Amino acid sequence: MMHFEFHVEGGNFLKAGAASSQLKKILKQLNVDPKTIKRVVVAMYEAEVNIVAHAYKGDIYIDIDTKKIEITLIDEGPGIPDIDLAMKQGFSTASSVVREMGFGAGMGLPNIKNNSDELTITSEVNKGTTVKFATYLNQ
Amino acid sequence: MKVSELVEKLGLKVYCGNNGLENEISNGYTSDLLSDVMGHADAGCAWITLQTHKNVMAIASLKDLSAVILVKGFEPETDMAAQSDEEGIPVLGTSEEAFTISGKLFNLLINCK
């Protein structure tokens, strides 16, 4: 069982993806199957960018055992009032500045869903959001 | 096809990431939406876009893309160029628009398969 933690600053797009990049390196070192790495990295990047784009700050907790990679992202932020709506392809509350950068197309949460085997999102408005997902290692 | 061959055949500018000119390009992906590229581009792609900021390189690196081609004369921002050099993923440029350069890349790649 291995455990890793990363901190993410809200609003800092210059560092967006840094934790995902670290995770990719770790998974490569652990000789995880490349297809699994690709899936985990897509889901992780989207979840990391969601903290940068929407929250004030957040922490990422990663647990890896022989069966799965489990990633939990806990942020302090505005929260999501309607999670079902947020999960819809194309729905986004991102600001115009964020959209001009090519983010905020409403594809992030669907990308997480498509690239994970378990996904749970819980949120409290004006407090924050917790996104927890797992990808199975099927060796 | 190597990035260097693509540069020569399409008359592209090389802004940065010269240490990746031997990267192999197997396919292309044209999009300005970052999550679209994140979700759907394959490793080895040349990514055609008008986005010029650092996050483009973060995605190119995470997805193992071979090069980025900026359209319509757009140039990379300073921190994008720095990360391109660091990652060894060249940022190339053309004065043409996405439709035209995508068509040319498509034809080149079809002919070498």
**Which percentage of chain A shows pLDDT scores above 70?**
99
Name all domains of chain B by residue range, CATH numbers in brackets: 3-111 (3.40.1390.20)
**Which percentage of chain B shows pLDDT scores above 90?**
96
Q: Sketch the domain layout of chain A as residue ranges.
A: 2-136
For B64-97, write each residue's pLDDT tens digit: 999 999 999 999 999 999 999 999 999 999 999 9
Are the Cβ atoms of B34 and A105 closer than 8 angstroms? yes
Are the Cβ atoms of B53 and A16 closer than 8 angstroms? no
Q: How many A×B Cβ pairs under 8 Å?
A: 62
For A19-74, write each residue's pLDDT tens digit: 999 999 999 999 999 999 999 999 999 999 999 999 999 999 999 999 999 999 99
Q: Say if CB A59 and CB A74 are below 8 A apart.
A: yes
**Which percentage of chain A shows pLDDT scores above 90?**
98
For every residue of A79-93, DSSP letters joined together read --S-HHHHTSTT---
**CA distances, A31 to each of A1, A42, B50, B102 (Å):** 15, 18, 35, 35
Are the Cβ atoms of B55 and A101 closer than 8 angstroms? yes
- The whole-angstrom separation of Cα A119 and Cα A115 is 10
pLDDT value of residue B113? 65
The answer to ipTM > 0.90 is yes
> Which residues of chain B are within 8 Å of residue A101 when distances are taken between CB atoms?
34, 51, 53, 55
Give the minimum alpha-carbon distance from B48 to chain A in angstroms, rounded to a whole number: 13
Are the Cβ atoms of A41 and B62 closer than 8 angstroms? yes
State the pLDDT confidence band at A138, using cuts at 50, 70 and 90.
Answer: confident
The DSSP element (H or E) to which A69 belongs, if any, is strand A68-76
Of the partner residues A18, A41, A102, the one whose CB lies closest to the CB of residue B34: A102
Pure H helices in A1-139: 18-29, 34-54, 83-86, 96-100, 108-114
Are the Cβ atoms of A14 and B61 closer than 8 angstroms? no
Tell which CATH architecture fits domain A2-136: 2-Layer Sandwich (3.30)
Is the confidence at residue A139, as pLDDT, over 60? no
- Contact of B61 with chain A, judged by CB distance below 8 Å, is answered with yes
Total residues found in chain A within this entry: 139
Is the confidence at residue B112, as pLDDT, over 80? no
What distance lies between CA B38 and its chain's CA centroid? 14
Total residues found in chain B within this entry: 113
Mean pLDDT of the B33-57 span: 97
Give the minimum alpha-carbon distance from A109 to chain B in angstroms, rounded to a whole number: 10
Are the Cβ atoms of A103 and B34 closer than 8 angstroms? yes
> Which residues of chain B are within 8 Å of residue A116 when distances are taken between CB atoms?
none
Chain A interface mutation, best of B36, B49, B51, B55, highest count of A Cβ atoms under 10 Å? B55
B111, with CB counted inside 10 A (0-12, 13-18, 19+), is exposed
Mean pLDDT of the B33-44 span: 96
